[in-house]
Amino acid sequence: MAKEDSSTPTQQSPAGNLMEKIVALTKRRGFIFQSSEVYGGVNGAWDYGPMGVLLKRNVKDAWWRAMVHEREDIVGLDSAILMHPLVWKSSGHVDGFSDPMIDCKTCKKRFRSDDMDGAVCGLKPSKSPLACGGELTEPRNFNLMFETFLGPISDSSAKTFLRPETAQGIFANFANVISTTRVKVPFGIAQVGKSFRNEINPRNFTFRSREFEQMEMEFFCVPGTDDDWFKKWVEIRKRWYTDLGLSDGKLRLRDHDKLAHYSKATTDIEYLFPFGWGELEGIANRTDFDLRQHQRGIRTVGKWDGGDLSSVELAAEDAEYQKGKLSYFDDEKKQRYIPYVIEPAAGADRATLAFLCDAYAEDNAPDANGKVETRVVLRLHPRLAPIKAAILPLMRKDGHPERARKIYDDLKRRFFVDYDESAAIGKRYRRQDEIGTPLCITVDYDTITDGTVTVRDRDTMQQVRVSEDKLRDLIEEKIGL
């Protein structure tokens, strides 16, 4: 048997700065690196390494599974990042997607004026810009959209933006989806993709980045049923996080009292990160605002001369707007109307970070010689774990590697598994603990004679002997497939 430490580990509270430990682990184990690190890095952009890409993909897959795959009333979409410039006028982003910004004339740093308490002075990092004595400007609005140009000519008619949210691609495809599928209101359109915001102060690791991924769904419903759907979606979305193992006690719902102009109600799902509460997802009742705005926008196209978008007047909302392309015809009631929209908008990077923070644990566990040491373990939900099982030959001889490879070759057709013969068994277990692998399968002398292997559980560290042909079922059961 692959002897290690089979007594149950005792959990301890991680000492020191938890966030620093998590950041260090994600770098050490290939989850997250700073973008362009070898060039000194860029602020607000992150690269997901070999483990991170698997974890984040599993987060997005779990979302897609819950939102599209397992629902009859939601379809998927993958719309382009680059859109017609008028989309951003109609959506309100050209005129209103800004944060109030304050410049410090002394240290030349920029701050969000609504986040001055958490900011630090550029010259005296121990002080806040409110206390360092630097000369501050009055707040002014700073549009968060990244500008770019379609084609080689950089004039105003070619100017567009990297999308700051994925939602507008959904609204712009509302009519296409209706005419090409059998959806009927109430129904949703979901998509996962990159968004870009030129955040004034990107910070808290990946929490506030300039390039990030969103998982958004627009749920179109009959006006009057929107309040019920809103409540339902808040519940469904909160449960998604707890079903994937996020601690209920570290999640809270926060109703907005100051609502955005398009919203009738907004509730954020927040997680208690080591740096404090932060939004994972916002659920908004957007009424019929977006479809109506785009209805006006598509009538503006012919009138737009390619000039500066901020001075464009959208076409008026006349009596005809109810019949436009972005309205819905109810075949049974013979009625045409503009549906209301409930939007659960989540961030893939923030969810990934929350799962990482929640999973990080340290416990006291005896090593192979019985010496108690601190073990770092990522207690990720098996469905999210980058690697589902590691196949480890006990020895690098006596037929163990060949037998282990055979098991690996069989399992890899079904699951993301790892083969590792590189170090002492205890060290290999610890490495898998740190990346959150739920099961370690060890091939030893008994395997050669009776076809059984030891399966070690990441959380309890208990080992059981099972027959090789039971491994697929065991992993499936663990993941909950």
Interaction of residue 350 with ligand ATP, rule CB under 6 A: yes
User: To the nearest whole angstrom, how small is the minimum distance from the Cβ of residue 346 to ligand ATP?
Assistant: 5
One residue of 26, 58, 166, 209 binding ligand ATP per CB under 6 A: 209
DSSP state of 238: H
CB 83 within 8 A of CB 168: yes
Binding to ligand ATP, residues 150-169 (CB under 6 A): 165
Interaction of residue 299 with ligand ATP, rule CB under 6 A: no
User: To the nearest whole angstrom, how small is the minimum distance from the Cβ of residue 241 to ligand ATP?
Assistant: 12
CB 215 within 8 A of CB 347: yes
**Between 118 and 306, CB nearer to ligand ATP:** 118
**Between 208 and 478, CB nearer to ligand ATP:** 208
**Beta-carbon contacts of residue 355 (< 8 Å; ≥ 6 apart):** 55, 59, 244, 245, 246, 380, 381, 384
The rounded distance, in Å, linking the Cα atoms of 348 and 49 is: 15
The rounded distance, in Å, linking the Cα atoms of 270 and 277 is: 6
| Total interface residues for ligand ATP by CB under 6 A | 16
> Is 190 in a helix, a strand, or coil?
strand
Interaction of residue 425 with ligand ATP, rule CB under 6 A: no
Interaction of residue 142 with ligand ATP, rule CB under 6 A: no
User: To the nearest whole angstrom, how small is the minimum distance from the Cβ of residue 136 to ligand ATP?
Assistant: 22
Interaction of residue 347 with ligand ATP, rule CB under 6 A: yes
One residue of 270, 349, 363, 420 binding ligand ATP per CB under 6 A: 349
**Between 93 and 458, CB nearer to ligand ATP:** 93
Angle value at C-alpha 130, between 124 and 131, nearest 5 degrees? 55
User: To the nearest whole angstrom, how small is the minimum distance from the Cβ of residue 436 to ligand ATP?
Assistant: 22
Instruction: Compute how many other C-beta atoms are within 10 angstroms of the C-beta atom of residue 407.
Output: 20
Binding to ligand ATP, residues 219-258 (CB under 6 A): none
**How distant, in Å, are the alpha carbons of 202, 209, 441 from that of 14?**
26, 26, 28
**Between 262 and 408, CB nearer to ligand ATP:** 262
The rounded distance, in Å, linking the Cα atoms of 289 and 261 is: 9
User: To the nearest whole angstrom, how small is the minimum distance from the Cβ of residue 52 to ligand ATP?
Assistant: 15
| Residue 237 identity (one-letter amino acid) | R
Interaction of residue 281 with ligand ATP, rule CB under 6 A: yes
Among the listed ranges 79-87, 114-122, 273-281, 387-395, the one in contact with ligand ATP (CB under 6 A) is: 273-281
User: To the nearest whole angstrom, how small is the minimum distance from the Cβ of residue 287 to ligand ATP?
Assistant: 16
Residue ranges in 127-278 assigned as alpha helix (H) = 167-172, 174-180, 226-243
Among the listed ranges 50-58, 341-349, 415-423, 464-472, the one in contact with ligand ATP (CB under 6 A) is: 341-349
Interaction of residue 197 with ligand ATP, rule CB under 6 A: yes
Q: Supply the DSSP string of 363-418, one letter for each residue.
A: EEEE-TTS-EEEEEEE---TTT-S-SEEEEESSSSTTHHHHHHHHHHHHTTTS-EE
Among the listed ranges 25-33, 347-355, 363-371, 416-424, the one in contact with ligand ATP (CB under 6 A) is: 347-355
φ/ψ (deg, to 5) at 280: -95, -35
> What tokens appear for 234 in the block?
């808040």
Here's the x/- map for ligand ATP, 89-128, by CB under 6 A: it reads as ----------------------------------------
One residue of 208, 237, 388, 458 binding ligand ATP per CB under 6 A: 208
CB 136 within 8 A of CB 184: no
User: To the nearest whole angstrom, how small is the minimum distance from the Cβ of residue 71 to ligand ATP?
Assistant: 20
Comparing C-alpha atoms, which of 91, 193, 196 is closest to residue 147?
Answer: 196
Q: Supply the DSSP string of 60-86, one letter for each residue.
A: HHHHHIIIIIT-TTEEE----SB--HH
Instruction: Compute how many other C-beta atoms are within 10 angstroms of the C-beta atom of residue 97.
Output: 18
Instruction: Compute how many other C-beta atoms are within 10 angstroms of the C-beta atom of residue 5.
Output: 21
One residue of 115, 227, 279, 459 binding ligand ATP per CB under 6 A: 279
Interaction of residue 353 with ligand ATP, rule CB under 6 A: no
Q: Which residue is at the shortest CB distance from ligand ATP?
A: 347
Interaction of residue 345 with ligand ATP, rule CB under 6 A: yes
**Between 1 and 42, CB nearer to ligand ATP:** 42
Question: What is the binding site for ligand ATP (CB under 6 A)?
Answer: 165, 197, 199, 208-209, 212, 214, 279-282, 345-347, 349-350
